[in-house]
């Protein structure tokens, strides 16, 4: 009898997930293809990677050392995964290879974005053995920024006079090191991830489960200051920072199965989805404490990151939370796929409007940004697999 009750509860829970209004994924993918066909017509020099739109409507492009350089080829890999069309695989390969020199870059913590989104997705989908040593070398380069006395990966080499700043964004690069641990059998990569995540839980979060953007340490790991770089104020909740943390600690639970990371991900998720300043369309203002709400710019990139993270997190929690996280993410995707956010004009190349990069610096405010597209595509893939009762994006690369 208990067995049948368990089955009925499972079916009821599954029904709750799939009863949401479903996106027409096929139609949306057709629109996505048109946009990126437009992008490929405009962007031909593979030494420069699309980043955003400039005020005159031209595509802002950056060199491979820029932290966002890996997202464009990552997007092409995701479109290939959505369509299974060879032309997208060929485009992804073309735009992935020029990034290989960044495997030796030890001056940045962003190699996860640069190499794992590009070569990592390429290796996952094709098992091209050429990609594997590049990924491993890049992971070793990233590891040079970890220092045992602090227990953290240094984000920047300096910030406002502090020599060891660590930003919440850095949680996103741990997935890359977990891959490297499995690919090489070198457990040092794994231990770096655990140490960094534990120190982040200890120092990055406030009592309400919101996070600081930047924690400044000394060389022994003592906290010297708690600051922001891209948020409204040191004590404010910068929207994309909350999304980075949610996503990063969900990955930590997936890779370690340690319940403290699941708890942390849930704490962040609950702060995010229940915030009183969250708009009805579920696309957050760039900072939850921006003084000009409701006229503050939105951040579609934060929405996309959070949606992707919530969809994965919904796999690991029990009924109630599962439905809440899935439903919120589904509403986000409905909004992002609608006319208020989705561009549907190939001359504008990108997928999503209304992202905010760095508002305090007046940089990339209320514009399309390449990483918003990346996490939107990833969220679409995860959403599609859930509603079709299939495995979410493969993770055991």
- Classified as helix, coil or strand, 25 is helix
* Whole-angstrom distance, CA of residue 121 vs CA of residue 374: 12
From the list 169, 287, 299, 373, the catalytic residue is 169
Element (DSSP H or E) covering residue 37: helix 25-42
Structure tokens belonging to residue 395: 């993770």
Q: Which residues contact 190 (CB under 8 A, 6 or more apart)?
A: 177, 178, 181, 255
* Whole-angstrom distance, CA of residue 282 vs CA of residue 335: 8
Q: CA dist 343 to 9, 27, 30, 132, 373, Å?
A: 40, 14, 13, 35, 11
Sequential DSSP letters for 178-238 = HHHHHHH--HHHHHHHHHHHHHHHHHHB-TTS-B-SEEEE-TTS-EEEEE-SSSSSTTS-B
Is 218 considered catalytic here? no
List, in sequence order, every beta strand (DSSP E) within 77-151.
146-147
Is 366 considered catalytic here? no
Q: Which residues are catalytic?
A: 110, 169
């Amino acid at each position: 009898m208990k067995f049948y009750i368990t089955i009925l509860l499972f079916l009821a829970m599954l029904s709750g997930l799939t009863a949401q209004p479903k996106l027409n994924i096929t139609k949306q993918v057709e629109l996505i293809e048109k946009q990126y066909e437009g992008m490929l017509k405009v962007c031909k020099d593979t030494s420069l990677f699309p980043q955003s739109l400039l005020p005159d409507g031209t595509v802002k492009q950056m060199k491979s050392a820029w932290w966002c350089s890996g997202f464009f080829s990552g997007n092409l890999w995701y479109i290939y995964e959505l369509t299974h069309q060879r032309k997208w695989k060929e485009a992804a390969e073309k735009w992935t290879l020029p990034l290989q020199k960044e495997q030796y870059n030890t001056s940045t913590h962003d190699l996860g974005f640069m190499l794992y989104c590009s070569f990592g997705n390429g290796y996952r989908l094709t098992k091209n053995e050429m990609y594997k040593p590049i990924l491993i070398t890049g992971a070793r380069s990233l590891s040079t920024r970890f220092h045992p006395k602090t227990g953290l990966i240094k984000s920047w080499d300096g910030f406002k006079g502090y020599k060891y700043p660590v930003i919440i964004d850095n949680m996103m690069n741990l997935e890359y090191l977990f891959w490297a641990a499995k690919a090489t059998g070198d457990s040092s990569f794994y231990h770096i991830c655990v140490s960094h995540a534990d120190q982040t839980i200890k120092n990055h979060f406030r009592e309400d489960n919101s996070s600081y953007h930047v924690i400044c340490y000394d060389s022994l790991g003592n906290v010297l200051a708690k600051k922001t770089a891209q948020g409204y104020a040191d004590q404010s909740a910068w929207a994309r920072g909350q999304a980075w943390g949610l996503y990063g600690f969900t990955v930590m639970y997936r890779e370690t199965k340690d319940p403290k990371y699941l708890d942390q991900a849930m704490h962040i998720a609950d702060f995010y989805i229940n915030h009183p300043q969250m708009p009805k369309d579920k696309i957050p203002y760039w900072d939850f404490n921006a003084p000009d709400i409701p006229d503050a710019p939105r951040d579609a990139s934060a929405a996309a990151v959070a949606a992707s993270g919530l969809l994965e997190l919904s796999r690991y929690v029990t009924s109630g939370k599962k439905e809440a996280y899935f439903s919120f993410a589904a509403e986000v995707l409905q909004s992002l796929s609608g006319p208020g956010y989705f561009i549907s004009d190939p001359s504008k190349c990108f997928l999503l409007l209304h992202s905010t990069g760095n508002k305090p610096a007046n940089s990339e405010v209320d514009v399309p940004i390449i990483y918003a597209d990346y996490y939107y595509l990833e969220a679409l893939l995860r959403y599609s697999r859930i509603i079709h009762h299939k495995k979410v994006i493969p993770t055991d690369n």
